[in-house]
Structure 1
Amino acid sequence: MSSTTEERKEMGQTTAEPSSLEEGKTMSPTTSDINEKSSPPPAYPDVERSDSVVAAEIHRTIQIQSSIGVLRVLRRAEEWIDSKVGIELRGIDRIPEEEKQPPSQWNIFLLWWSLNVHVGVLPLGVLGPAFGLALKPSIAASVLGTALGALCTAYTGTLGPRTGLRQIACSRYSFGFWGAKLCSILNVVVGGGFYVVNLVVVGEILSAVSDYSLSIEVGIVIIAVVSYLISIFGFKLIHTYEKYSWMVTFVLMCVLYGQAAPLVEPDAPGFDASGTLAFAGSFLTIVAICFSNASGWCSISSDYMCNYPANISSLKVFGLIWSGIMLPTCWSIVLGALLGNIAITAARAPYAHVYTAHGLGGLIFEVYHPVGWSKFCLVILTFSVLGNNIAINYSSGLSLQLLGHYFHAVPRFIWSFLFAIVVAVLAIAGRQSLSNVVSDFVSLLGYWTVSFTLILLIEDKFFRRREGYNLTVWDKPDKLPWGAAAVLSLLSGYLAGGLPGAAQTWFVGPIAANFGKYGGDCGVYMSAAITIVVYFPARALERRYTGR
């Protein structure tokens, strides 16, 4: 049983040793008497040797749980489950340096590789042909967008080892205690959107395997239940699962490449001739969608890095995350683009008809052959989304706990359960319009993820480049920044940049409308520019008048 469980048994008795530093101060960059086994080297002035605040946060949570009967029962249920099968109980609490249990550093790469090698990524590749692009520009736009978006996730992940905090908790040093709640909500929405796409694709696949006798709805429910059950075990099992789960999926996707390749017509022209405004608009939109997909992890990246030691090279973490997202995502998206070429651009029979009638799942079933082999592959590929789903379930539960002490008092496995139910309902409701869900929802993510990343980047590299982070105040509203500058910058980027540059099925912004009939999504780039322009002066004023 974890140390957190032991502290809970004390019913409010805190056991952390007194902090070696006075509250409100950060370690000097020149401190030399640091024990390497329990603390990071002087290069990380923002990390302390002990953390009494963790115990204080647990104390407050236990008080709430003890005073409310339902929460008291849930807490006991969580501890009982932990005693039987071993689940993670820590929740959102900061992980002190001496309590970190890091997996292998190669797990950083393998985690992100596994999260992005699955059939749920294929719809992103299909969008290029669906938007009228020929095969080559479709692939080029997808690779460019993925490479840029992965930079966001790679950077935010480097904050996890340095602070021992989950990603949304890290954002409190920019957004403040209350502003970070907005990030929590947006993070849950982001995860929910990806989850819906995964569930619908898997539902289509299971339906195809059963010769369409099994409804898509039943397939959605099956994979949602399995994903939830695995997610409750937490960080350690997720890292172990992701280390190996990609292998069979990767082999089967290689086979799908081989069986799809003879059907591809690489020179088949798209709907929009190269050089026209409509072509430029479609290209911009695909770049934006793939950027948003890769950057969508930026608000949970630290959740899986916070157990690594603070003295791990930030450059190494950055490189492993970036390549771990870039390589498998492009691999999967290109496969989706090939399938889109077959069914949409070249409109080969019978693939075009099957895609129209039964969606992507039916198309994959038709491309794999013979039938027996196809069914076997699809059953295995059904479980390829589990790694992605369990990570989303896990992080969404943490994000909901970060909404406040009372939310923290509700066990993570309950929040993850409620999240899974809501997402399954949404997936069932949107099962008939997967392409619209992907194009509209995923591109909308980029408007906030790019602003979120830039705010954390500017705060870290400019405003805190010398003072670092006082980690004893991560959960104290009166010690954290107000967050007004960050919230203003985020909203400015979204409303003044994202929406005017948006190109959605339901809305085309005035700037995006200049790129042909369907527009071209340039909201990501406008959001980035406006966020930078607003945050520098706004944060400087906030620090000047508040001292935080």
Structure 2
Amino acid sequence: MSIEKRDLESGSPTPENTTQSDIEAGRTILLKADRVHELQARVAVLRYLNGFESWLDRRLGVETQGVDRIPEEEKQPPSVWNIFLMWWSLNIHVGVLPLGLLGPEFGLSLKQSIAASIIGIILGALMTSTTGTLGPKLGMRQIATSRYSFGFWGAKLCSVLNIVVGGGFAVVNYVVVGQILSAVSGYTMSITVGIVIIAVISYVVSIFGFRLIHTFEKYSWIYTFILLCVLIGQAAPHVQTSLPGEDGSSGLVFSGTFLTIVAINFSNASGWCSIAADYYCNFPASTPAWKTFFLTFWGIVIPTTFSVTIGCCLGNAATTAAYPPYADAYTNHGLGGLIGEIYHPDAWSKFCLVLLTFSVLGNNIAINYSSGLSMQLMGHYFHAVPRFIWSMAFAVVVAVLAIAGQQNLSNVVNNFVSLLGYWTVSFTMVLMLEDRIFRRKDGYNLEAWDQPHLLPSGVAAVTALLAGYLAGGVPGMSQTWYVGPIAAKFGGDGGDVGIYMSAAITVVVYIVGRYIEKRYTGR
């Protein structure tokens, strides 16, 4: 049952089935409704920071909205085609190329690498498309929508995991850009300097918020698309499509490697499932769910497939075919050196490398923006701190991690990105089941999004998430540092089947647990 705020404030008649406990809970809600504003007014530091944020808004148009739910009458939607086009900027950039290089590095042929990558991208895009439909429907950020299944406290776990996911992607982007800028300087500038430069630029752009991000993402992919077309055109003479993979085309070892590449690309495409609604919450609730779903799906699948396929071709030339100049550049200077070697002549190469440096901005600013929102959703005290502070803290931490891991980019991509899928698939399953089964008749009390007493306890969702990860992800994962007992059945380095096991276990545990939770708590 929904308790309406206006009934409690004005004393107007409440519904007949409203109980005394409901009324008392509602009064508690009203006392807590201004908790964030009270903290901002009482604590001097917070008062100063929020005053500074308001000044930035007046002078520069920096967004101050934060994580508050956007009422229908206050929404300011961009064109619905932005849902489709924003993903092009998020997925057409040099930071996606390392995902494609992994297939050839793992011993797959070019065709096998591309096939495994596309399968993973399609499956992962289904996850992000599903969670994104809640943005227009509820007018909330993605982690805020998870409170209707994970509860107020359980959603904090989702916030932390979302920040970790974004941090992993950002580390890859920062390192690739550092390598590129180092290549431009003739390797006289360290990768660290490049990392710091892109971290600062990404942060500054991200603080302007929703409106600028949507405008930027709508167009920024175009020049990168052109440059990557030129890149593959110049590399094409040294790509050998007929070369076989190291493990052949059948057998358990081949199957295991194929599944691992599928899992890595699944994790990349599904990694957006915990932030998609952040960029959809200004669209009207009347926006058809199917339109949001398919614009998101194809918006992810098409550009990501384009970028990863180019990465597969570069990996084929540098590792499978081992064309000497490419192999030496990749071995000694990483992806940045490889790209610098492919573009020619030298002046054109440096020009392209400088432009490609900025190709990751679309991806980075979205990650910085959403990570700041996730920090605010950790609780009232976190909410009281302006988003631009949390985004800055995130950028600093990611830059430090990128500097520390700059010499092992391939290991970072393999070990970190593939780990994401075990949580993103469980997160998606929980939100989908809650929306399609448990909220199908009752709907959502939109006034309850920030009120623990009106939200589910979250026990069922957190249990399902942990069960999916521990009982599905761990035994089914295949990492360089650990191969689960089920993944090890494939032989060799194992085959990553954790995402499928996580999905199945999460569905079963959540359906049973949520029925029990609703029966005993009524929420």
> 2: distance between equivalents of 1:421 and 1:54?
36
Task: State the 1:351 CA deviation.
Answer: 0.8
**Match for residue 362 of structure 2?**
387
The within-5 A match list for 1:388-467 is 388-467=363-442
1:186-221 C-alpha deviation (Å, 9 max, x unpaired) = 000000000000000000000001110110000000
Superimposed CA distance per residue, residues 495-526 of structure 1 (whole angstroms, 9 cap, x where no aligned partner)? 00001011111111111111122011110000
Letter in 2 for 1:406: Y
Q: Deviation of residue 276 (structure 1)?
A: 2.2
- Which has the higher mean CA deviation after the structures are superposed, 272-281 or 244-253? 272-281
| Alignment partner of 2:451 out of 472, 476, 498 | 476
Tell me if 1:497 matches 2:472: yes
Distance 1:541 1:209, change over 3 A: same
Please say if residues 150 and 460 of structure 2, whose CA atoms lie closer than 8 Å, have aligned partners that are also in contact: yes
Deviations 1:457-489 (A, max 9, x none): 001001111111010111110110000000000
Deviates more, 1:71-80 or 1:294-303: 71-80
Contact 1:158-1:317 at 8 Å conserved across structures: yes
The Cα of 1:76 is off from its aligned counterpart by 1.2
Structure 2 match to 1:109: 84
Query: Which residue matches 2:21?
Result: none
CA distance in 1, matches of 2:292, 2:399: 33
Q: What amino acid is aligned across from residue 381 of structure 1 in structure 2?
A: L
- Give yes or no for the alignment of 1:237 onto 2:212: yes
**Map 1:310-329 → 2, pairs under 5 A:** 310-329=285-304
Within the candidate set 316, 339, 342, 1:341 is matched to: 316
Q: Hey, which of these two has a bigger chunk of helix by percent?
A: 2
1:158 aligns with 2:128: no
Q: Deviation above 6 Å: which 4+ runs of structure 1?
A: 16-21, 23-26, 52-58
Q: CA deviation at 1:270?
A: 1.8
State the match for 1:546 in structure 2.
521
Task: Give, as a single letter, the amino acid of the residue that structure 1 aligns with 2:159.
Answer: S
The verdict on how the C-alpha distance between 1:268 and 1:117 changes in structure 2, with shifts beyond 3 A counting, is: same
How big is each residue's C-alpha offset from its partner over 1:402-422, in whole Å with a ceiling of 9 and x where there is no partner? 000000011000000000000
Once the two structures are superposed, the pairs formed by residues 149-298 of structure 1 within 5 Å of their partners are: 149-298=124-273
Which structure 2 residue ranges, 5 or more long, are not aligned? 1-5, 19-26
Cα deviation digits, residues 246-266 of structure 1 (max 9, x gap): 111111111112111111001
Which deviations, in whole Å up to 9, do the C-alpha atoms of 1:328-363 show, x marking residues without a partner?
000000000000001111111111111000001100
Q: Aligned residues: percent identity?
A: 67
Letter of the 1:140 counterpart: A
Report the 3-state secondary structure (helix = DSSP H, G, I; strand = E; otherwise coil) of the residue aligned with 2:103.
helix
How much has 1:18 moved relative to structure 2?
7.1
What is the Cα deviation at residue 21 of structure 1?
10
Distance 1:164 1:464 in 2: 16
- Given that residues 207 and 216 in structure 1 are in contact (C-alpha distance below 8 angstroms), is that contact kept between their aligned partners in structure 2? yes
> 3-state DSSP class of the match of 1:91?
coil
Q: Sort the Cα spacing of 1:131 and 1:540 in 2 relative to 1 into closer, same or farther, 3 A.
A: same
Q: Contact (CA 8 Å) 1:24, 1:470: kept in 2 or not? A: no
SS at match of 1:500: helix
Shift in Å at residue 59 of structure 1?
A: 2.5
Q: Whole-Å Cα distance in 2 between the matches of residues 532 and 180 of structure 1?
A: 18
In 2: Cα distance, 1:20 partner to 1:231 partner: 44
- Counterpart AA for 1:473: A
Q: TM-score, normalised by structure 1?
A: 0.90
Q: Provide the rounded CA distance (Å) in 1 between the counterparts of 2:30 and 2:192.
A: 44
Give the aligned partner of residue 300 of structure 1. Answer: 275
Q: How many equivalent residue pairs? A: 509
The reply on whether 1:331 has 2:285 as its aligned counterpart is: no
Offset of residue 114 of structure 1: 1.2
8 Å contact from structure 1 (residues 227, 390) kept in 2: yes
CA–CA distance in 1 between the matches of 2:160 and 2:44?
27
Tell me, yes or no, if the aligned pair for 1:343 and 1:355 is still in contact at 8 Å. yes
Instruction: Tell me what 2:22 maps to.
Output: none
CA distance in 1, matches of 2:295, 2:133: 10
1:53–1:473 Cα contact (<8 Å) kept: no
Match of 1:365 in 2: 340
Residues 60, 208 of structure 1: alpha-carbon distance in 2 compared, 3 angstrom cutoff: same
2:220 aligned counterpart, secondary structure: helix
Contact 2:128–2:272 at 8 Å: present in 1 too?
yes
Report the counterpart of residue 536 of structure 1 in structure 2.
Answer: 511
TM-score of the two chains, using structure 2 as the length reference: 0.95
1:304-337: CA deviation from partner (whole Å, max 9, x where unpaired): 0000000011100100000000000000000000
Partners of 1:169 and 1:22 in 2: how far apart? 27
Aligned residues of 2:29 and 2:451 also touching (Cα < 8 A):
no
Mapped partners of 1:257, 1:24: distance in 2: 68
Q: What does residue 493 of structure 2 align with? A: 518
- Give distance in 2, aligned partners of 1:180 and 1:275: 43
- 1:60-100, Cα deviation, whole Å (9 max, x unpaired): 21211122111111111111111210111010000000000
Report the aligned-residue RMSD.
2.0
